[in-house]
Structure 1
Amino acid sequence: MKIAVIGGTGLIGSQVVRDLNAAGHEAVPHSLSTGIDILTGQGVDAAMAGADVVVNLTNSPTFDEASLAFFQTSMDNLVGAAARAGAGHFVILSIVGVDEVPELDYYRAKVLQEDILKAGPVPYSIVRATQFMEFVDAVLSWTTDGDTVRLPRTPIQPIAAADVAATVADVAAGAPLNGVLNVGGPDTYPLDELGRITLSAKGDKRSVTVDDGAGMFAVVHGDVLTTKPGARIAPTRYTDWLK
């Protein structure tokens, strides 16, 4: 199959392209660097010409309220182009529990992205993943004050980007789900414990203190960011990934 991977040069997209091509498909990466602009629509129709499947892995440049406009405009352009190209499957990557954290602008924006896809004319699949292992360092940096990292006890189920990419590639190569597939890592940790494990493995002398009001995950209720029965569980453990 010919598969257009929008955002195909990023952390997840580049691995999805690699996995799909290794499986014998023709996966073509597209991004600003290859000449397409998903906000103006420039180059989008040409990128999707002849594509059987479209995978959209682009992301908003901000996590604030502006992300709503980003996903509205980009999805309108991409879904319209996919329909004109006759694509039979449109795949996006979203977040486990995204519809249960309306307090976060970015999560509401991702729900909007999902809703636009669901309402469109192209058969679709939504892959919802838990938090990436690659982003844990950034999460710690958000609430670092000197030698102390303040973290809430929010349950987190970290997943390796490579496992996310493998799942997206697998879904893209299959029949449209017209629904959602959840995928998460094999282990769940309170975020404060995840922070301590990370710092210890890196020889980082910062200490972690529990602060249930610190950072963006402070507004998360219970275990909504972890998978429920029926989800796909990826193989890579966080402690192994750290090594």
Structure 2
Amino acid sequence: MKRPNILVIAGHDPSGGAGIQADIEAAAANGAHAATVITLLTCQDTTNVHGVEAVAADFFDRCLETALADMDFAAIKVGVIANAEQVMRIVDLAERLPNVPLVVDPVLRAAGGGTLADDSVGQALRDHLFAHADVVTPNAGEARLLCDGEADIDRCGARLSANGRCALITGGDEGDSEVINREYVAGEPREMHRWPRLPGVFHGSGCTLASALAAQLAHGHDRATAVRRAQAYVWRTLDNAFAAGRGQHIPARIQPARDS
């Protein structure tokens, strides 16, 4: 069985709950192989982020070029980015691979509240990288930050789904009795995906969703099918989440994906 390659550009979480480890596991569970380029190193546990170090620009560039020279990619997933310089380097990559689906998970803060990216990253994502994305997957809090503090999620969705891309704004960080993920595509009706809210707080659910979605696109599924399958997979990982440390639970990603 041939597994499509996806290129994952994201950070390292030593707890194994989020970041590159989450991406690799989610991609594998959804039938894809993840090649990874690290954007930043974190000092992090299951409670919060305690320190961040960006990968040097020259080394980051070398890692990207080495991966591209060796492998063909059926999708790209972008997670946390350290600075605007890295954003622009990924913009250049997207322009070189215009037919490769691009999923951007705009990680700006950890679930525990710690800052992961510098202040210029959100603007650079919004002003430059999102134009090349097929799907962006912010949670509600990130969507508001990217839209200059706009409180209304529907207005955020309209802004973030400009230029024909899909904005899937997840609601796990909201206070609703159920989790409502809102899917926006310009010119199409908003779609609401409702999931039972599970007890507890989870570490790495956004990474898991974005990488599962990239893997589904890499298999050639259309956007609507990929979005549906990725969400169903993520809900199962959360329903079976486990406590590896003293903080947030980690999704049980090592399980086969299903059709629904």
Task: Quickly name the TM-score band, shorter chain normalised.
Answer: 0.3 to 0.5
Q: Taking structure 1 as the reference length, what is the TM-score of the superposition?
A: 0.46
Q: Taking structure 2 as the reference length, what is the TM-score of the superposition?
A: 0.43
**Which has more radius of gyration?**
1
